[in-house]
Amino acid sequence: MSSTRTPDPNPGWLSDDELSEIRSRLPLLYVEAVPVRLDGMGQVTEVGLLLRVSAEGSIARALVAGRVMFGESVRDALFRHLEKDLGPMAFPQLPSSMQPAHVAEYFPFPGAKYVDTRQHAVSLVYVVPVTGTCEPRQDALDMAWMTPEEVTADEVLRELEGGRGALLKAALASVGALP
C-alpha cells in the first residue's frame, strides 16, 4: 500500500478511473508482508525492508504490499506480491494458517494511526520467512536486511510511511521478535 503506484499485473482488472471511483466509495483489501530470515530455532534474525521512491520523489522504506484482486484468495495475493516485490528466487514460506499477525486499517486523513491518502483500506499483515535470494523488482529499488534491533530503531521506523513503523513493530511483536 505504498504511495508509489506499482503497475497492475492484470491491467484489464480495473482502469485508473474505475479504481479511483472505487477508492472514493469503498474500503479495499490489501495484504502486507514483513519478510524475515529465521535461525535454526525459528527465531527472527533479520527483517527485510524495501526501498522505494515515494509519490513525492523521496526514498522511503516499505513493506511488501498490494491489493487482493476480485476472485483471488488472500494466500494467492500474498504469494503474488512477495514474488512481484522480492523476485521468483525469494522462496517465501507462507503460513499454514492465513491468520494475520496484525490487521491495519488505513484512512485517507491525517491523525489516523495508519494513513493512506488515496483511500480507506484494510490490510492483513503477515510475517513471512524467506529462504532464497531476494532481488527486488517492479518499483522497489533495493532491499535491506537488518536485525530486529536495527529495524526497530526510531530513525528506521520514521522512514516507513503512513504509520507502518507501528505496524512493523506490531507484526514483530506477534512473533516474539520485538527487542
Distances (CA, A) of 159 to 45, 83, 94: 21, 23, 26
Domain regions of the chain by residue span: 16-174
116 contacts 73 by C-beta, under 8 angstroms: no
Q: Report the predicted TM-score, pTM, of the whole model to 2 decimal places.
A: 0.86
**Distance from C-alpha of 75 to C-alpha of 93, rounded to nearest angstrom:** 11
Residue 169 to residue 147: CA distance in whole angstroms: 13
May I ask the CATH architecture of the domain 16-174? Alpha-Beta Complex (3.90)
Question: What DSSP string runs through 34-83?
Answer: EEEEE-TTS-EEEEEEEEEE-TTS-EEEE-EEEEPPTT--HHHHHHHHHH
pLDDT at 168: 97
Q: How far apart are CA 125 and CA 99, in angstroms?
A: 9
Beta bridge partners of 92: 130
CA distances (Å), origin 35, targets 18, 64, 110, 139, 150? 31, 8, 28, 17, 15
Q: State the pLDDT at residue 10.
A: 55
pLDDT of the residue at 76: 97
Return per-residue pLDDT of the chain as tens, 179 residues: 444 445 555 555 678 888 778 877 888 999 999 999 999 999 999 999 999 987 778 889 999 999 999 899 999 999 999 999 999 999 999 999 999 999 999 999 989 999 999 899 999 999 999 999 999 887 788 999 999 999 999 999 999 999 999 999 999 999 999 88
Q: How far, in Å, CA of 128 to CA of 131, rounded? A: 10
